[in-house]
Amino acid sequence: MLKAALLYLSKARWARRIVTRWSFARRAARRFVAGDTLDEGIAAVRALNDSGLNVTLDHLGENVTDQADARRAAEDYLVLIDRICDTGVRANVSLKLTQLGLNLGPDTCLDNLRRVVAKARECDGFVRIDIEDSPTIDRTFETYRALRKEGSDNVGVALQSYLFRSQDDARDLTAAGARIRLVKGAYSEPPHLAFARKRDVDANFDSLAALMIDAAVAAGGEPVSRDGRIPPRTALATHDPARIEAARAHAERARLPKTALEFQMLYGIRRDLQDSLAAEGYPVRVYVPFGTEWYPYYVRRLAERPANVWFFVSNFFRR
């Protein structure tokens, strides 16, 4: 019930107007968001790199409603990629296609994404397409496949283990050599599309992770790039120790090298686990969001764990 309410609020414009006016809410969000500016994002990358961790940077934004905003989002990513190249930090970028105009038409989004991917290619960079809610998924994969058909191989996608369809999607994408980030899923979906029980989502995550690992072994177990920008084929985004242990055990049985299995985690969550996996020789990539459009991202983080809600409420009464 609480999760459903928070996921509703993450999209509610009236709630966004209220909450973003509260200074304490912005301070609380800084636990999960590196800051408002690119400089703050790069500073967070440097600190993580110094600790042996790679990064994917997300300039927050989604669901734009006009062409100008979509073009502006693409321009922001071009600037971001230039900064990554100029500074030499170990980072790539993640983005949402609704931020680049997916809901304004396929051509708008594809044109904007094409520019971002081409810019990343100039300095051997990589672009990860985040997965969003179910009404966007087919269009997301169509856009991804269109770029791959044009010859862009520095772009990857994500899959959500709470969706029934993800088994079929994983088989199709691994057969095509896609670089996949597997997540559990953070949107509200109807019961005919998604697992409702956590144990079923977890079981599907383990099954999908095994499928991806086996595909990586069959492809030769390509490792993460030396500069930390290009991820391996298999990236598992989870803070759940049981999911991590299941994936590690399967990878060991399948003889997938540690350097070909990347674990991804969110900025501000389980830094201890990030450090311990990196110390064991696994590539670890931290998802670092920044920007002023923090509200929907932050509320989805609150929906994921009750402890996050308590963190927010305690800050409310301290303001």
Q: How far does CA 279 lie from the centroid of its chain?
A: 23
- Of the two residues 309 and 181, the one the predictor is more confident about is 181
Asked, for residue 206, whether it belongs to a domain, the answer is yes
pLDDT higher than 80, residue 34? yes
Place of tokens 């969706």: 163
Q: How high is the pLDDT of residue 156?
A: 97
Confidence of residue 316 (pLDDT cuts 50, 70, 90): very low
* 8 A C-beta contact, residue 123 and residue 81: yes
pLDDT in tens, 137-156: 999 999 999 999 999 999 99
Confidence of residue 6 (pLDDT cuts 50, 70, 90): low
Average pLDDT, the chain: 89
Domain that holds residue 189: 58-293
Per-residue pLDDT averaged across 178-197, rounded? 93
pLDDT higher than 80, residue 295? no
DSSP string spanning 123-141?
TT--EEE----GGGHHHHH
Distance in angstroms (rounded) separating the CA atoms of residues 57 and 289: 6
**How do beta strands 155-160 and 127-129 pair?**
parallel
- Of the two residues 279 and 313, the one the predictor is more confident about is 279
Distance in angstroms (rounded) separating the CA atoms of residues 50 and 214: 32
CA angle 112, 157, 73 (to 5 degrees): 25
Confidence of residue 317 (pLDDT cuts 50, 70, 90): very low
Tokens coding 194: 């998604």
Distance in angstroms (rounded) separating the CA atoms of residues 103 and 61: 14
* 8 A C-beta contact, residue 162 and residue 201: yes
Say what the alpha-carbon torsion angle 227, 230, 236, 240 is, to the nearest 10 degrees: 30
Active-site residue flag, 181: yes
> Which of 4-13, 55-64, 245-254, 297-306 has the largest mean confidence?
245-254
Distance in angstroms (rounded) separating the CA atoms of residues 279 and 52: 8
Q: Which of 114, 128, 130, 206 is catalytic?
A: 130
CATH value at residue 65: 3.20.20.220
Confidence of residue 22 (pLDDT cuts 50, 70, 90): low
Distance in angstroms (rounded) separating the CA atoms of residues 37 and 35: 6
Distance in angstroms (rounded) separating the CA atoms of residues 234 and 181: 7
Q: How high is the pLDDT of residue 102?
A: 96
pLDDT higher than 60, residue 307? no
How many domains is the chain partitioned into structurally? Answer: 1
Asked, for residue 318, whether it belongs to a domain, the answer is no
Amino acid at 263: F
Q: How high is the pLDDT of residue 234?
A: 96
Per-residue pLDDT averaged across 262-283, rounded? 95
Q: How high is the pLDDT of residue 57?
A: 97
220 exposed, middle or buried (CB, 10 Å; 0-12, 13-18, 19+)?
exposed
Distance in angstroms (rounded) separating the CA atoms of residues 147 and 150: 5
Per DSSP, the three-state class of 122 is helix
pLDDT in tens, 198-236: 999 999 999 999 999 999 999 887 777 778 888 999 999
Per-residue pLDDT averaged across 276-280, rounded? 97
Asked, for residue 234, whether it belongs to a domain, the answer is yes
Per DSSP, the three-state class of 188 is coil
Asked, for residue 27, whether it belongs to a domain, the answer is no
Q: What is the DSSP letter of 238?
A: -
Q: Which of 181, 229, 233, 300 is catalytic?
A: 181
Asked, for residue 203, whether it belongs to a domain, the answer is yes
Per-residue pLDDT averaged across 252-273, rounded? 95
Asked, for residue 316, whether it belongs to a domain, the answer is no
Asked, for residue 304, whether it belongs to a domain, the answer is no
Active-site residue flag, 130: yes
* 8 A C-beta contact, residue 68 and residue 31: no
Q: How high is the pLDDT of residue 103?
A: 95
Confidence of residue 240 (pLDDT cuts 50, 70, 90): very high
Asked, for residue 17, whether it belongs to a domain, the answer is no
pLDDT higher than 90, residue 129? yes
Confidence of residue 315 (pLDDT cuts 50, 70, 90): very low
Confidence of residue 162 (pLDDT cuts 50, 70, 90): very high
pLDDT higher than 50, residue 43? yes
pLDDT in tens, 84-95: 999 999 999 999
Q: H-type helices in the chain, by residue range? A: 2-11, 13-19, 23-29, 38-50, 67-87, 106-122, 137-149, 166-175, 198-218, 241-254, 271-279, 295-304, 306-318
